[in-house]
Amino acid sequence: MTYVVEVNGLTKAYGDVKAVNNVSFKLETDKIYGLLGSNGAGKTTIMHMISAQQFETSGSLRVFGEHPYENNHVLQQVCFIKESQKYPDNYNVRDVLETAADLYPNWDQQFAMSLVEEFQLPLKRHMKKLSRGMLSSVGILIGLASRAPLTIFDEPYLGLDAEKRQLFYDRLLEDYAEHPRTILLSTHLIDEVGTMLEHVLLINRGQLLLDEETDSLRGRAFSVSGTAAAVDRFTSGRTVIDRQQLGGLVTASILNNPGQLNGQAEAEANALTVAPVSLQQLTVYYTRLQNRDSVSSKGAK
């Protein structure tokens, strides 16, 4: 199988700080990946190395089978959209779109113009006069209309309202269905994009914590709701990753015990309401678990 991206032992160090520490993963063709992790985890650094904006300190990196650095053949297949993109001062929206049309071989002008309408972008307005959300919309539009075989969105929607974010998800999924490509999306709005992601890469403190299909990850846990007494009885002896109380109603998220039948049928038999657990809860749980482990192992030294 050929992969769109293959990284092996990828490391980026700034002095003593390893922003990315010995990370290995592969991205398949035509799949939507979420690159998740808390602030400073190393997501942007990984994306910068894949898109040849930064050079790795060590490890190997292949994008479409080649090293991406100053490699036009590779880079014309990669579209990288970041929240803080800078544009020339004298450019208006139309200039930016024309530049993008020249840059990306798969650019679809008709699609781009339909997105201009839907995102209500003023073509003649200078980029520096756009609102924060409008700037994000321009980036999203370029990411979508470029139809690049590898499209990378690094937290692309700063300032974008909920309705526009939903528009982004809807158009991405529709267009992806017709023109599949590999998408790598980093975001902190995990539950908003949860259903869109096919695969999750979770980074914490520069290290890869999870590299797993989203469905399989979700299958690791479930939540139960009911009275406090019933929930506490059921969760006793189980691994609870989250517990919320609203009035008399308690909802607990539970990890399936490995090697055991998952407890969902038993929960239902105990009059508890069973539901899937959110991707955000799972990523928070695994991140905290690693942070706790590293604190306790330091304490033990």
Ligand X SMILES: Nc1ncnc2c1ncn2[C@@H]1O[C@H](COP(=O)(O)OP(=O)(O)OP(=O)(O)O)[C@@H](O)[C@H]1O
Question: Which residues in this chain contact ligand X in the complex, by CB under 6 A?
Answer: 14, 17, 19, 37, 39-45
Closest CB to ligand X among residues 134, 155: 155
Three-state SS string across 255-292, please? ECCCCCCCCHHHHHHCCCEEEECCHHHHHHHHHHHHHH
CA distance 287 to 242: 13
Residue 47 beta carbon to ligand X: minimum distance, rounded to whole angstroms: 8
In our burial notation (b when 16+ CB lie closer than 10 A, e otherwise), range 189-206 reads ebebbbebbebbbbbbbb
Residue 165 beta carbon to ligand X: minimum distance, rounded to whole angstroms: 17
Instruction: List, in order, residues 6 or more apart from 42 with CB less than 8 Å away.
Output: 12, 19, 20, 21, 23, 203, 205, 206
The distance of Cα 146 from the centroid of its chain, to the nearest Å, equals 19
Quick check: helix, strand or coil at residue 215?
helix
Greatest pairwise CA separation for the chain in angstroms = 66
Ramachandran quadrant class, 7 (left: phi over 0; alpha: psi -120 to 50; beta: rest)? beta
Residue 11 beta carbon to ligand X: minimum distance, rounded to whole angstroms: 12
Closest CB to ligand X among residues 39, 260: 39
Closest CB to ligand X among residues 42, 68: 42
CB 136, CB 160: distance < 8 Å: yes
Q: 74 is written with which tokens?
A: 């590779």
Residue 14 beta carbon to ligand X: minimum distance, rounded to whole angstroms: 3
Closest CB to ligand X among residues 190, 252: 190
Quick check: helix, strand or coil at residue 180?
coil
Closest CB to ligand X among residues 22, 76: 22
DSSP H helices in the chain: 43-50, 72-75, 93-103, 109-118, 132-145, 162-178, 190-193, 214-218, 228-235, 264-269, 279-300
Residue 38 beta carbon to ligand X: minimum distance, rounded to whole angstroms: 7
Closest CB to ligand X among residues 37, 149: 37
Residue 6 beta carbon to ligand X: minimum distance, rounded to whole angstroms: 20
Residue 70 beta carbon to ligand X: minimum distance, rounded to whole angstroms: 20
Closest CB to ligand X among residues 45, 92: 45
